[in-house]
Structures are given as structure tokens and as C-alpha cells.
Amino acid sequence: MRRALFVGVQCIAIVILALGVAGPVQSKQASMPPWRDCADCPALVTVPAGRFLMGSDLDGEAGRPEGPVREVRIARPFALGMTEVTVQQFARFVAASGYRVAPGCRIQSAASTSAAKAGWRDEPAAGWQAPGFSQPATMDTPVVCVGRVDALAYVSWLSAQTGQAYRLPSESEWEYAARGGGSGIYSWGSNADLGCAYANLYDRRARALQDFGWGYADCDDGYAELAPVGRLKANGFGLYDMLGNVWEWVADCYRLTYDGAPRDGTAVLGDAGCEKWSVRGGGWMTRPTRNRLTFRGRDPNDARYSYFGFRVARDLSDRDLAERKMAISDP
Ligand SMILES: [Ca+2]
Ligand SMILES: [Ca+2]
């Protein structure tokens, strides 16, 4: 009887989550202790169920639409990396599995004269252990120079190690999580110049080091290139660096528009014939217009750049949800 009552309460709670009742549910979930399945595994935040309007019908660049806007329902809470996957976490995977990332990475290229702009070059000797920054990458910076194929290898290994269902987030899960319950152009509002407390952007400091010839956030976030993960403010769901620091591979095959795209939080499936995959959030070198929540990058599976990384998602089982509900002290 008590169990039946308990299960009934769980069902009501899950229905409330599914209806997208926001505020208090979000703040409770953001304050929950993170999930961590092993000492070297990424810490995970519980992202609540809910609905949101994905995309923008106003802000896309020519040839890069971000709509049509549609309502997406995330019916079930899921876990998402609190931060981008770090060099240390990826190194653990490589050491344990013997996985080899193909060499070569697109890295920044210094300006040839004081009047010229910095640019990019494909460097065969660069890679995730030597990503070409002015300072050596540290273990707590996000891993870069990894393709989507490498990210998939990591989540597959992590699943096997832990017995949990790790994966890349879908593009809609990513955007929902990045919003953190907000509806602005950025997770902090609609002014890029107010973002330096929340995101490692292409800011004044970054532009002073390297002028790529595009717009910048007129503020100082403290980092000219990569930032160690989790140093700036979290969003409403307790997630760090969703916007900025590194672009993040997601699960979806890129389609030019959201016409016919899933509305249930699942990914647009792709196979070997998918030429480009979605990548989101912008990075340390991105102009502010491309750091927007709805902007969509798209690149081949094996593109390796010093500004592309990823974060993991993990399914939450009924048992996981029941455990966390028990941990919540409802009034
Ligand atoms: Ca910066
Ligand atoms: Ca990011």
C-alpha cells in the first residue's frame, strides 16, 4: 500500500515535470548534487523535463536559417555534463582504451604583419595534446581537436565502463539545456557585452591577442583562448560554458531547416551519408552573433578544430529518478 502510494506520488511528480512547470522544479534540480559514475567521469546535472520554443525566425544569417520555430517537448529529465569534457577526462579514455585520434587540427595562425588579421590553418602536427595555443592546454581545459567520431568513441567507452547509457545530447536537448529556463538571445539576456561573467567569449582580451577581423564582446571574461571548465557563472540549470569556450558536437545530422524535425527532444538521425553534423554554442574565438543560443554550426564528422569539443548526456532510468525524488525534501 505504501509502495503504491509512493509510486503514485512519483507518477504525479513526473507528470508535473512533463507539463513543464518551471521555476521551483528547475531551481531544485539545479541545486541537486551532480551525478558522477566514476572518479574520472564527467559530473552530470539533472536537466528537468519541460517544453520550449526552439530556434529563431528572426536571427539567422543568409543561408543559415534557425527555424522555423517550433515547440519541443522534453518529456523526461536527462543528465547532461555540467561542463565540457576536459583534457584529463579524455586522456583517461585514451590511456585506458588505446584509442587513437587521427592527427591534424585546424588551429589559429598568427597575423603575418601588424596590419594583417590572424587566421586559421590545418596543421598536420597539431592535435588534442598539442592544440596550438599560446599557452599549453591544461588538464582542466576542455579537450579540443576532437571530431564527432572521437566524441562518439568516448561516450561509447564511458557507457561500457559504467553500465550507463551515455551519448551526445540531441540538438534540441542542447538548446533547451543552454537556455536554462530563459528566453533571451543568450542565457544571460540579449546583450553580448554583458556575457563575460557567464561565458568565455571572443572578448576584448581575446581580440587583443588575436584579431580575427570579426566582432567581439566588449567586455573582459579573463581568458584570451581556452578557459578551464566551470570558472564562469552557471546557467539556470546549473550548467557551465554551454555558450562559449568550445563549440559542442551534438547527435544530430544537420538539416538546413527545422521543417519536419522531431518535436520530442530526439535527434535528427544521420548515417554515413550525412555530410555535416550540428555543433552548437560558439567558442572562445566566435563572433557574438554566432554565440547566440539558436545559432547552428555544421561540420563533417571528422572535423578537428581547436575550438570544437563536446559534453556528454546520459539517460536517467526510472530508478535514478526515483532516487532523486527521494532526495528532494518536498514541503
Ligand atoms: Ca575570452
Ligand atoms: Ca561550450
Please tell me the distance between residue 323's alpha carbon and the centre of ligand 1 in angstroms.
39
Q: Which ligand number lies closest to the CA of residue 197?
A: 1
Q: Which ligand number lies closest to the CA of residue 83?
A: 2
Q: Is the pLDDT of residue 36 over 50?
A: yes
Residue whose C-alpha is closest to residue 42's, from 125, 158, 136, 153: 158
In whole angstroms, what is the distance from residue 195 CA to residue 242 CA?
A: 12
Please tell me the distance between residue 223's alpha carbon and the centre of ligand 1 in angstroms.
4
What residues pack around ion ligand 1 (CB closer than 5 A)? 200, 203, 206, 221, 223
152: part of which helix (H) or strand (E)? helix 148-162
User: In this predicted structure, what is the pLDDT of residue 54?
Assistant: 97
Please tell me the distance between residue 155's alpha carbon and the centre of ligand 2 in angstroms.
17
pLDDT band at residue 31 under the 50/70/90 scheme: confident
pLDDT band at residue 164 under the 50/70/90 scheme: very high
Please tell me the distance between residue 253's alpha carbon and the centre of ligand 1 in angstroms.
29
Contacts of 228 (CB under 8 A, 6+ apart): 138, 140, 141
Please tell me the distance between residue 24's alpha carbon and the centre of ligand 1 in angstroms.
32
Structural domains in the chain?
A: 24-323 (3.90.1580.10)
Instruction: Write down the pTM of the prediction.
Output: 0.89
